[in-house]
Every structure is written in C-alpha cells, then in structure tokens.
C-alpha cells in the first residue's frame, strides 16, 4: 500500500513539473529560438500585436468587409477529398459545402463538408418535382387554394398565380423549376397529395421518405418550396443523391432545358411568361456551360446561395451541389468543379478489362435474369450498394470511375448479392476505401459451388453450442486487430478534431495545450500500470 502511495505521489509531482517547465520552454521557443536574432523576436512580437489589432478591428468592419472575410474563410475550408490517397486535388469553393458525384455509379469525386447540415432554400423544389413526377401525371389539374398563396411575403419568388387559378401539373412544374415560384411548389404538393387520397402533409412525408430511400441521412424537409424554417435542412451528399435520381426522369430534364415558358390565358388564369433562372443553362449568359442539362437555383438570407446542377459531356454524367455560397461565386464554383471532374477522371468499362477469376461473363443490370421488375416510373430497382457509408441504387453499372493516373489493376473488388438460382450477383469495385463502380456478372460454376459449400457449412453449424473457446483460439488475433484498428481510427478522429479546434491558437497556446496533453497521457498510462501491479 505504501509503495502504491509513493507511485501516485511521483505521478503528481511529474505532472506538476511538466506544467511548470512547459510554459517556460514555450516562452523560450517563441521568443528566443536557437540562432534567432533580436530582430526576429521583435518581428514575432509585432506580428502578435498585429493579430490582436485585426481581431479587434473585425468588430468594426463594414458589411462589405465582413462579407469579404466570410468569402475568404469559406474558400480556405478543408476539402476532404484532397486528403484522399492518390486522389486529384480539387479547387477551392466559396461555398461552405460542395460535392461532385458520378450519376451512374454514385461515386463521390469531390467532397467538401458533404454531410454538414445546411439550409437548401429553393433547391428543395428539385425533390418536390421528383415526388410530383413519381405520384402524379403531367395532365393532372392543379387548383390554387388560399393556402397556396396566403404564406407569401413581399420579395418571395413568384409568378403571380392567384387563388382560384387552375393549371396543369406540367405548367405548375415549369413555374416551380424555371421561375422558382413558391406558390406553384405549394400547389403542386397540395394537389398531388389530394389526388393520392391524402394531403399536403402526406406529400412532405413522401419527400422525407424518398430522400432516405435514396441513401440520405442528414436531411429533414418541412415544406415544398424551401422557404426558411430552422427544421428544414439538408446536406450536399443528400442533395446529390436526390439529383442523380433526376436522371431517371426525362420530363424533369426537358422542363429544365427550356429558356422560357408561357402559361397561356384560360377561363381561370391569366397569361404568365417567365424565363430560365439557372444561368449556366442560358446561352447568352457569361456563366453558360455547354455540358449542363438541368439544375435549380436557391437563395435565402439564412441559406445564402445554393445550387444543384446536372452535366453530361457525352462520357460522364455528373451531379454538382454547392451550398451556403458567399458572394456571387456559385456559378464559377460549379463550373470549376465540373472541369475538375471531367479533366481528372476516366470512365473504364469493366468488360474491356481482365475478368476476375470468379466471373463467367459480365451482363447489364437490365438484362439480368434476377433483376426486379421495373417500377411504375420505368426504372430498374437494382440492388442497393454502399458508397461513403450511404446506400444508393446504381443507375448504371459495368464501369468504374477512376483518377486518370490510376490503373484498373490498382482497384480491389468484392462480390455480393449472389443468386444461386441464376448464378448472378454484383461486383463492387473499391479504390483506397472508396467505391468507384459496380458490375452485374454471371459467375463460374466453380465459384458458385464454393458459395454453396460455404453456405451449407454455416447452415449446418450447431447454433446452441458455445464456441467461445474456439472463438478465442481462432478469432483472437482478428478481434485484437479489429480493436486496434478501431482505436487508431478514434485517435485519428481526435487528432483531426484537435487540428480544427486549435488552428487559430497562438504558438504559446499550442505548446501549452500539447504539454497538457502529454501530461494527461502520462498520467493515464501510469495509472494503468499501477492498477496492473496492484492486481498482481
């Protein structure tokens, strides 16, 4: 017992000594580095004073200066995909969150804060239109009730539709997507809900369920138009998943490509003419980009500028989402991201490469014998797969998207969802932990026999027998490896958090914090050793 007390006392003395020595060491390092001159010390001190002045000055900044600083801060934010191994470095954006996703495979090519909650503003109307096309018919009548109009405030985006107006669902979608008319979006939701035997709230529920079914995990929608509500939010990844689903709906693409649209006068409605709002689709605009095929703009004072855009260069179909953009940079940001993706990635057909030994032949998902029957919208309900932790439904398979300097032989693969009756299944292609494509394949008899044998062994294994002893013998190494891997991941996460949290600290503060962390680690380690000795 006395020995234990001595150990504890020594630990406490050690920690106190560390905290006493570290500030002095830090002080020497900052103000009198070995080989440093007095002028350097003075320069460092002057720099610290300058930083303090800047901090004080920020409170007195003009709105323009604050906006400029916000733009610069957003541009400097970390781009997570730039840290991926052997991945092309992407451009900065003035949007606080951004993503580029390959529409066919769901592969993420660019990622900046893609899971952070942001307000979507009017790009919400993409999901509204998707639900309308899924449950309604373009010829359905849309009647404008008082509820469709009463919430509108001066300055809200509108085409001037009034209570009592009756137009078709197609016309209402043109007003929703081209002109971003808030009253039209509400009317679409209300009427489609009623025609389905429900109401507006049911429509909103379908929006949330659709987002989740596509793999979205960080969104909550409470209205059909995107007007601000604290509980109405999304993230770049979720909006990209919604955007790639739009490729299944040619009606949506057709609406978005119109330069202008006219709702003709009728017995119930005045004539309404409105232009395209997405500047990358307007040929006369300086922001026009030839590969853009659809998209939607958004803005509120809370969300700032938001944009979702679909592009096709004849080789790759992409979805780009940029959220919370400062200034007037959202179109240049989007173009830069598309150029980055088109110029740095390649599409490789797996059928043109060496087949894995397990594969008899590659087949398209559409020709697969085990493919589920087509949905009401005519699309294939193929197996869901994982990318970046989220489920998605592959729109196309049979190819991979890779950086141009990466070879096909550099990627790994795994086989899943094997149907023993048809001999078919899915191959998922992985590069450095990121899924880059998938393929439907028919497998060899030898491989299918192996799958069948493995399944028989699992099925025949006694379920009531306690195999804990065997588990310790055979799985001990695997378990230890898994625990160690999880520990390292947690350490890495804490390290990343620390880097972000203390990035703005002065040198003195950083050294003091580091010293404190070292002392804490020593304390924990010493206590563990003490406990082990006491048990012995």
Judge whether 323 and 309 are in contact, CB under 8 Å: no
3-state secondary structure of 14: helix
Per the residue annotation, which of 81, 157, 158, 180 is the catalytic one? Answer: 180
3-state secondary structure of 267: coil
Distance between CA 211 and CA 118 in Å, rounded?
15
End-to-end Cα separation, the chain, in angstroms: 13
Distance between CA 151 and CA 197 in Å, rounded?
24
Residue 473 falls in the annotated catalytic set? no
Pairing of strands 108-112, 95-102: antiparallel
Residue 122 falls in the annotated catalytic set? yes
**Torsion 108-112-116-121 (CA) sign:** negative
Distance between CA 230 and CA 112 in Å, rounded?
22
Residue 291: partners with Cβ closer than 8 Å, 6 or more residues away: 311, 312, 313, 338, 342
Q: Any idea what the Cα angle at residue 376 is, between residues 418 and 224, rounded to 5°?
A: 110
Tokens of 71: 């733009």
Nearest one of 266, 252, 245, 25 to 164, comparing CA atoms: 266
Distance between CA 223 and CA 239 in Å, rounded?
15
DSSP conformational letter for 323:
E
Judge whether 403 and 86 are in contact, CB under 8 Å: yes
Instruction: Tell me if 296 is assigned to a ligand binding site.
Output: yes
Residue 180 falls in the annotated catalytic set? yes
Catalytic residues: 122, 125, 180
Could you tell me which residues are annotated as the binding site?
A: 296
């Amino acid at each position: 017992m006395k020995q234990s007390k001595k150990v504890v006392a020594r630990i406490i003395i050690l920690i106190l000594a560390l905290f006493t020595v570290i500030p002095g060491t830090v002080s020497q390092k900052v103000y009198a580095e070995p080989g440093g001159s007095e002028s350097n010390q003075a320069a460092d001190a002057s720099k610290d004073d300058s930083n303090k002045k800047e901090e004080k000055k920020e409170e007195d900044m003009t709105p323009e200066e604050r906006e400029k600083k916000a733009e610069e801060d957003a541009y400097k934010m970390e781009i997570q995909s730039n840290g991926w191994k052997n991945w092309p470095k992407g451009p900065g954006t003035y949007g606080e969150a951004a993503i580029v996703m390959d529409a066919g495979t769901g592969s993420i090519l660019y990622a900046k804060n893609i899971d952070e909650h942001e307000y979507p503003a009017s790009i919400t109307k993409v999901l509204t239109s998707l639900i309308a096309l899924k449950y309604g018919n373009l010829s359905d009548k849309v009647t404008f009730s008082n509820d469709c109009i009463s919430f509108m405030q001066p300055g809200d985006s509108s085409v001037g539709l009034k209570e009592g107006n009756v137009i078709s669902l197609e016309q209402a979608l043109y007003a929703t997507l081209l002109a971003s008319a808030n009253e039209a979006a509400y009317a679409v939701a209300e009427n489609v809900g009623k025609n389905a035997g429900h109401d507006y709230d049911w429509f909103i529920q379908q929006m949330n369920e659709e987002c989740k079914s596509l793999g979205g995990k960080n969104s909550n929608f409470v209205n059909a138009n995107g007007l601000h509500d604290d509980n109405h939010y999304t993230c770049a990844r979720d909006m990209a998943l919604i955007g790639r689903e739009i490729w299944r709906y040619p009606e949506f693409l057709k609406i978005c490509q119109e330069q202008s649209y006219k709702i003709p006068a009728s017995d119930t409605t005045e004539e309404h003419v409105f232009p395209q709002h997405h500047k990358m689709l307007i040929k006369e605009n300086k922001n026009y980009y030839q590969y853009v095929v659809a998209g939607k703009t958004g803005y509120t004072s809370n969300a700032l500028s938001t944009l979702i855009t679909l592009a096709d260069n004849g080789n790759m179909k992409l979805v780009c989402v940029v959220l919370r953009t400062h200034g007037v940079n959202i179109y240049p940001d989007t173009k830069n991201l598309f150029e980055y993706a088109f110029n740095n990635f390649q599409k490789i057909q797996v059928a043109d490469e060496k087949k894995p030994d397990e594969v008899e032949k590659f087949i398209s998902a559409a020709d697969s014998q085990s493919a589920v029957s087509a949905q009401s919208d005519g699309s294939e309900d193929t197996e869901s797969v994982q990318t970046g932790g989220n489920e998605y439904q592959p729109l196309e398979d049979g190819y991979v998207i890779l950086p141009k300097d990466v070879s096909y032989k550099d990627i790994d693969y795994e086989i899943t969802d094997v149907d023993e009756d048809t001999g078919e299944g899915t191959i998922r292609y992985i590069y450095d932990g990121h899924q880059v494509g998938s393929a439907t394949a028919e497998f060899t008899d030898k491989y299918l026999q192996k799958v069948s044998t493995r399944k028989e062994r699992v099925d025949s294994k006694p379920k009531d027998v306690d195999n804990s002893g065997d588990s310790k013998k055979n799985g001990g190494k695997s378990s230890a490896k898994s625990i160690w891997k999880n520990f390292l991941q947690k350490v890495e996460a804490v390290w990343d958090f620390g880097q972000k949290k203390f990035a703005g600290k002065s040198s003195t503060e950083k050294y003091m914090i580091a010293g404190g962390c070292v002392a804490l680690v020593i304390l924990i380690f010493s206590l563990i050793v003490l406990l082990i000795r006491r048990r012995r």
